[in-house]
Chain A
Amino acid sequence: MHALVQGVILGVLTGGVYALMASGQTLIFGIMKVVNLAQGAMVVMSAYLSYQLFVSFGVDPFLAIPVTTVVMFGVGVGVQLVFLRPLRRDDKSELSLLVTFAVALLIEGLLSITFKTTYRSINTSYANSSWTVGGYQITVVRVYAFALSLVSLGLLFLLLNRTRFGRAVRATVQNPDSARLLGVESEKVAALGFGLGAATAAAAGSVYGLLYPFYSGSHYDLISRLLSIVVLGGLGSVGGAVVAAVIVSTSSAVVASTVSPAWSEMTFFVILLLVLLVRPQGLFGKVGRGAL
């Protein structure tokens, strides 16, 4: 029982971080029907940015987030304008898979040249600290990361639901032709939306760097998890991504702590397959167009 509860605590806390990463991924898909295979690479890139700011200037990774967010927003807008915008509308979704994978490889290559391929980790003073609550170990970093994810997702929610830009994004997702008739410039929304999706990678990257050792090729593992979460939650649904991240992460952690860590990874994909057998559109996905 103790192992089960410990697994749930770990899973929920980790799920918050994956939710943040996956929210950007699903946001980009919702707006542009682009499956961004570079999202994992962007998270790793943000982790390196946080690492460098910590090593060179002693900036705490949590405090570095405003800076990395701005940088990653710019990277996202740049990627959309340079690599995705020129794609023909007819086959944009298919081609974007290749293009974003190429962007992931480009980012990986640049990071390998700059930082080599050795594992890095951000070792803050509180990296190994933990609290004991009711006999359960709760690592400080994971609690901070979870809180950060909640705040970031809350801000994303407010941005999408309470601002003019957010309304335009949601309108474009739900009915792009009608949005254009009301004066929304879909290309501009697409660029800013991609930037926003990449910006969520900034906060996620700082946290990822704190929680796990990483190197330039870490994005392969990340992107497979993110895609699974996004598909499980329903393509284009931010809320679905959050729920899916917590479900998947918690079940993996519970299996790891009660059965064996060897089965943990498999649990992740077994749940995905089972849900897709029953609901091919994912937990919160709509058949056809998504709805933010």
Chain B
Amino acid sequence: MSAILDIGGVFAGYGAGDILKGVDLTVERGTITCLIGPNGAGKSTVLKTVSGLLRPSRGSVVFDGTEINRLTPKARLRLGIVHVPQERSLFPAMTVRDNLLMGGYLVKDSAVVYARMEEAMKAFPICRSRAAEHAGSLSGGEQKQVELARTLILDPTLILLDEPSIGLDPKSRQIVFESIRSLSASGRTILLVEQNARSGLAVSDFGAVLESGRVRLVATGARLLEDPEVARLYLGGGAVPAVASGTRHTETASTEEDY
């Protein structure tokens, strides 16, 4: 397993002061890594520094061996880094089909876009059955599925998912997490921010605890779920056996804890 993303000593913020205060995080290729932590810890800010919406004031972001600090968001998209923000990001008065096509805006060859749209529709059948409907008429869970499907049109290497389950009912949440697993099964790397830490870790290979702008702990998702301290602070209760929660435990992964 090799690193696809290496964030080293990153400081970043929105003007008043740095929110990220020396973030170090390595994301292994083909895995799901879940960032958890309290509100204001900087989880979404980490995603923004990777997608280029925010430039770090210090530190480096290395993607697939290349430092990308100075690249524009558009250039990072071309490299295969796709960011799905926390807020609804579909175009509500456009059809589901047009929303998917917008996912391939940077792909010049329309034949490639249509072929990928076909694949996305296979992976997310809701996109085919509701293709001609306005995206705004879909439920929250359905919209999130279309957002995930739209990422596939760019054939991404790294998908940044910010709070994909926020505001969804339990059934929709389950579907979304299953979709995330299937995205990962197709070989894509996923960096996930999830307020619902228990569900996020359950679907992830690795978890990282972010607190006050720094990564405090990195371990497998299973180990974090079993950690009583993590459970008390971030999971709202006691630890849960990995098997019971359906965790993707990767025994071969490097799991050193780094406080």
> Given known contacts A181-B51, A181-B83, A182-B77, is B105 in contact with A174 (CB within 8 Å)?
no
Q: Is the Cβ of A170 less than 8 Å from the Cβ of B94?
A: yes
- For B91, B94, B103, B110, which residue has the most chain A Cβ atoms within 10 angstroms? B91
Q: A residues bordering B, Cβ < 8 Å? A: 164, 167-168, 170-171, 174-175, 177-185, 291-292
Give A291's nearest chain B residue, CB to CB: B93
B94 CB contacts on chain A under 8 angstroms: 167, 170-171, 174
Q: Does B85 contact A (CB under 8 A)?
A: yes
Q: Is the Cβ of A174 less than 8 Å from the Cβ of B93?
A: yes
B78 CB contacts on chain A under 8 angstroms: 183
Q: Is the Cβ of A183 less than 8 Å from the Cβ of B77?
A: yes
Please provide the chain B residues from 89 to 118 with a CB less than 8 Å away from any CB of chain A in the complex: 89-94, 98, 101-103, 105-106, 110
> How many whole Å from A173's CB to the nearest CB in chain B?
8
Docked Cα-Cα span, A277 to B140, in Å, equals 33
B56 CB contacts on chain A under 8 angstroms: none
* Nearest 7 A/B pairs, CB to CB: A291-B93, A178-B89, A183-B106, A174-B91, A183-B74, A183-B77, A171-B91
B77 CB contacts on chain A under 8 angstroms: 181-183
Docked Cα-Cα span, A182 to B98, in Å, equals 13
Q: Does B73 contact A (CB under 8 A)?
A: yes
Q: Is the Cβ of A182 less than 8 Å from the Cβ of B103?
A: yes
A183 CB contacts on chain B under 8 angstroms: 73-74, 77-78, 105-106
Q: B residues bordering A, Cβ < 8 Å? A: 51, 53, 73-74, 77-78, 83, 85, 89-94, 98, 101-103, 105-106, 110, 150
Docked Cα-Cα span, A164 to B94, in Å, equals 13
Q: Is the Cβ of B89 less than 8 Å from the Cβ of A167?
A: no
Give A184's nearest chain B residue, CB to CB: B105
> Given known contacts A183-B77, A183-B106, A185-B74, is B101 in contact with A178 (CB within 8 Å)?
no
B91 CB contacts on chain A under 8 angstroms: 170-171, 174-175, 178-179
Docked Cα-Cα span, A195 to B62, in Å, equals 39
A179 CB contacts on chain B under 8 angstroms: 91, 102
Docked Cα-Cα span, A170 to B90, in Å, equals 12
Q: Is the Cβ of A180 less than 8 Å from the Cβ of B102?
A: no
Docked Cα-Cα span, A182 to B89, in Å, equals 10
Contact of B105 among A177, A182, A291, A292 (CB under 8 A): A182
Q: Is the Cβ of B92 less than 8 Å from the Cβ of A181?
A: no
A167 CB contacts on chain B under 8 angstroms: 94, 98, 101-102, 105
A167-B101, A168-B105, A177-B85 given; name 4 further pairs at CB < 8 Å: A174-B94, A175-B92, A182-B106, A291-B93
B85 CB contacts on chain A under 8 angstroms: 177-178, 181
The dominant DSSP class at the A interface is helix
Q: Is the Cβ of B74 less than 8 Å from the Cβ of A175?
A: no
Docked Cα-Cα span, A167 to B107, in Å, equals 14
> How many whole Å from A291's CB to the nearest CB in chain B?
4
> Given known contacts A167-B98, A180-B73, A183-B77, is B93 in contact with A292 (CB within 8 Å)?
yes
Q: Is the Cβ of A181 less than 8 Å from the Cβ of B98?
A: no
A-B contact pairs, 11 of them (CB 8 A): A168-B102, A171-B91, A171-B94, A181-B53, A181-B77, A181-B83, A182-B77, A182-B102, A182-B103, A183-B74, A292-B93
> How many whole Å from B74's CB to the nearest CB in chain A?
5
Docked Cα-Cα span, A16 to B78, in Å, equals 43
Docked Cα-Cα span, A179 to B89, in Å, equals 8
> How many whole Å from B250's CB to the nearest CB in chain A?
30
Q: Is the Cβ of A175 less than 8 Å from the Cβ of B89?
A: yes
Contact of A181 among B73, B101, B110 (CB under 8 A): B73
Q: Is the Cβ of A164 less than 8 Å from the Cβ of B73?
A: no
Contact of B90 among A164, A178, A180, A184 (CB under 8 A): A178
> How many whole Å from B258's CB to the nearest CB in chain A?
31
Docked Cα-Cα span, A179 to B106, in Å, equals 11
Docked Cα-Cα span, A183 to B91, in Å, equals 14
B74 CB contacts on chain A under 8 angstroms: 183, 185
> How many whole Å from B201's CB to the nearest CB in chain A?
26
Docked Cα-Cα span, A178 to B87, in Å, equals 9
A168 CB contacts on chain B under 8 angstroms: 102, 105
Docked Cα-Cα span, A183 to B52, in Å, equals 12
